[in-house]
């Protein structure tokens, strides 16, 4: 489906604008890592994720046990738990498929998801999430 969307009017202004906005999000740097690690109970870290929903960056957050089937073939995630972020598509826009607006909506929401993920990652870095828990640290 994704390949098909890239072949149908790939130069449509709505698609180009959403791709440019998403690319700017992907290229934005993460903040520096906090000087000191912070200790919090796991449920406290999880509860703080609600702030991202309240801020409108995403519609849902949570923590889940990592499932190998969530990875692309040939990839792995060494962490046992992952932060999940949910963004909701605009049904009215998606229902216009195969029109360009449906494709633009998908790109828009993938951009929102990337923005939310970068905001969460930046927050963890600034809040002093114990990076020493990560593999290779």
pLDDT averaged over 10-residue windows placed end to end, the chain, 137 residues:
74 93 95 88 91 96 93 91 95 92 93 96 87 49
Distance CA(93)–CA(84), nearest Å, equals 24
In a domain, 29, yes or no: no
In a domain, 47, yes or no: yes
pTM of the model: 0.85
The predicted pLDDT at position 131 comes to 60
The predicted pLDDT at position 129 comes to 81
The predicted pLDDT at position 135 comes to 45
In a domain, 64, yes or no: yes
- The torsion angles phi and psi of 93, rounded to 5 degrees, stand at -70, -45
In a domain, 90, yes or no: yes
The predicted pLDDT at position 18 comes to 95
In a domain, 16, yes or no: no
In a domain, 34, yes or no: no
The predicted pLDDT at position 133 comes to 54
In a domain, 101, yes or no: yes
In a domain, 15, yes or no: no
Number of structural domains in the chain = 1
**Residue 71 Cα distances to 22, 76, 113, angstroms:** 22, 6, 17
* Core vs surface per residue 20-57: b (16+ CB within 10 A) or e: eebeebeeeeeeeeeeeeeeeeeeeeeeebeebeeeeb
The predicted pLDDT at position 13 comes to 94
Residue 102 is part of which domain span? 2-8+40-129
């Amino acid at each position: 489906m994704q390949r098909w969307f890239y072949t149908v009017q790939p130069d449509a202004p709505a698609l180009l604008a959403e791709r440019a906005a998403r690319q700017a999000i992907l290229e934005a740097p993460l903040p520096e890592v906090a000087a000191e690690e912070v200790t919090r109970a796991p449920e406290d870290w999880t509860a703080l994720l609600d702030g991202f929903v309240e801020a409108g960056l995403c519609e849902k957050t949570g923590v889940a046990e990592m499932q190998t089937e969530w990875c692309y073939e040939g990839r792995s995630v060494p962490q046992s738990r992952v932060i999940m972020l949910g963004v909701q598509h605009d049904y009215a826009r998606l229902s216009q498929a195969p029109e360009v607006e449906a494709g633009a909506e998908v790109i828009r929401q993938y951009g929102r998801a990337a923005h939310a993920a970068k905001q969460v990652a930046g927050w963890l870095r600034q809040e002093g999430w114990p990076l020493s828990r990560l593999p290779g640290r």
